[in-house]
């Protein structure tokens, strides 16, 4: 029972807590639950990201450029034998929704949106009672759009790009070590990069252009662990590295106008550490902290956040074959000063921002 609770804590802890465009954390903890299991989850993230233009652009307020997002997930897992199991998971791993308000003269009306969905099939094989390996293909669908308006963009103001939905395939592979009698598990998972080729329509002062634009969602490595530390008490956590520097959008017309990048992320490592306490046969309480160090405050105007830290509180209710888990997460987003290389200066400032998330997951064991 405790191992099941540990897996549940890890699975929902990452949901509804993303500080940037990393929405779910791509956990595969469901594959370790015993038996035949179906899970349905929903998360909601509501960021508050506000700033001001630099004085040279009038110092106008950006308004809240972040929008609330809903994150559905579904997974199903089955044990074929005591050594072989398989499962599938649907999630929306990456996304963005940015809109600048009219009071920001530099960026008034600028928008950026990105949406992904993925379906991953995982096969797990136990080499022994303590060691297992797993992996499988990941199908991913993605689309994105941009509209650049405001005085900062000068003659380019009004430029838009629509990257039509594209489907592509990657993979996931990993290994786990367990000591069941002590409720200990550690897993290491590699998520491959996935390359997309988008049919991209650009509208600008030049004639409309349609071309193929390649972009890659980043590879990542997840380390997750849980361990019993006392009767009815366990700890859980992990770290996630993401190669965000590989994520680029370079439509040809825009690239011809400007050398400035639409997105320019640094690689990140996100840490989480939590504790769970089983209160009685039905209820378990959870608490965890999450931290992503600052990499550089000089961001682009479409991603004015640099690191974050936060606290998550939750509970698991278990009765017979049903388990319901809910958690709430509050985060302080790192301050950032968007920078435009062609101008050689910062163009705005974002400080004191926050994000609040809520997640719920229902699990049924057959």
**Widest distance between CA atoms in the chain:** 69
Specify the pLDDT at position 344.
Answer: 81
Question: 33-43 burial, b for 16+ CB within 10 Å, e for fewer?
Answer: beeebbbebeb
Q: What is the pLDDT of residues 87-104, one digit of tens each?
A: 999 999 999 899 999 999
CATH of domain 2-365: 2.40.160.60
pLDDT computed for residue 118 by the predictor: 97
pLDDT reading at 165 higher than 70? yes
Phi-psi sector, 321: left (phi>0), alpha (psi -120 to 50), beta: alpha
Q: Phi and psi at residue 3, in whole multiples of 5°? A: -60, -40
Higher-confidence position of 327 and 17: 327
Contact 346, 337 (CB under 8 A): yes
Express each pLDDT in 219-253 by its tens digit: 999 999 999 998 899 999 999 999 999 988 889 98
Q: For 16-65, what is each residue's pLDDT tens digit?
A: 333 358 888 999 999 999 999 999 999 999 999 999 999 999 999 999 99
Q: Could you tell me the pLDDT band of residue 289, with boundaries at 50, 70 and 90?
A: very high
**What pTM, to 2 d.p., does this model score?**
0.92
C-alpha–C-alpha distance, residues 219 and 76, integer Å: 24
Task: State the distance between the two ends of the chain, measured CA to CA, in whole angstroms.
Answer: 15
């Amino acid at each position: 029972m405790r191992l099941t609770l540990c897996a549940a804590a890890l699975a929902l802890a990452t949901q509804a807590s993303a500080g940037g465009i990393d929405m779910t954390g791509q956990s595969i903890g469901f594959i370790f639950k015993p038996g035949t299991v179906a899970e349905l989850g929903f998360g909601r993230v509501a960021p508050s990201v506000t700033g001001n233009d630099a004085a040279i652009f009038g110092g106008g307020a950006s308004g809240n450029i972040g929008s609330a997002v809903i994150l559905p997930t579904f997974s199903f897992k089955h044990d074929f034998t005591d050594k072989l199991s398989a499962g599938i998971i649907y999630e929306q791993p990456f996304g963005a929704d940015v809109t600048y308000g009219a009071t920001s003269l530099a960026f008034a009306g600028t928008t950026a949106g990105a949406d992904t969905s993925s379906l991953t099939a995982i096969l797990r094989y136990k080499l022994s009672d303590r060691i297992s390996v797993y992996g499988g293909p990941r199908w991913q669908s993605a689309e994105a759009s941009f509209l650049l308006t405001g005085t900062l963009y000068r003659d380019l103001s009004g430029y838009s790009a629509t990257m039509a939905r594209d489907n592509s395939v990657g993979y996931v592979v990993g290994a786990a070590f367990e000591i069941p009698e002590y409720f200990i598990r550690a897993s290491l998972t590699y998520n491959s990069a996935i390359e997309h080729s988008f049919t991209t329509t650009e509208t600008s002062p030049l004639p409309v252009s349609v071309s193929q634009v390649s972009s890659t969602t980043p590879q990542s490595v997840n380390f997750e662990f849980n361990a019993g530390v006392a009767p009815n008490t366990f700890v859980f956590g992990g770290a996630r590295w993401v190669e965000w520097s590989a994520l680029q959008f370079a439509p040809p017309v825009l690239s011809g106008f400007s050398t400035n990048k639409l997105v320019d992320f640094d690689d990140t490592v996100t840490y989480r550490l939590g504790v769970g306490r089983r209160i009685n046969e039905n209820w378990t309480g959870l608490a965890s902290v999450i931290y992503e160090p600052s990499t550089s405050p000089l961001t682009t105007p479409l991603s004015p956040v640099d690191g974050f830290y936060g606290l998550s509180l939750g509970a698991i209710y278990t009765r017979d074959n049903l388990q319901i888990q809910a958690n709430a997460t509050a985060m302080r987003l790192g301050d950032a000063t968007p920078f435009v290389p062609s101008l050689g200066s910062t163009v705005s400032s974002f400080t004191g921002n926050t994000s609040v998330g809520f997640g719920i997951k229902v699990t049924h064991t057959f």
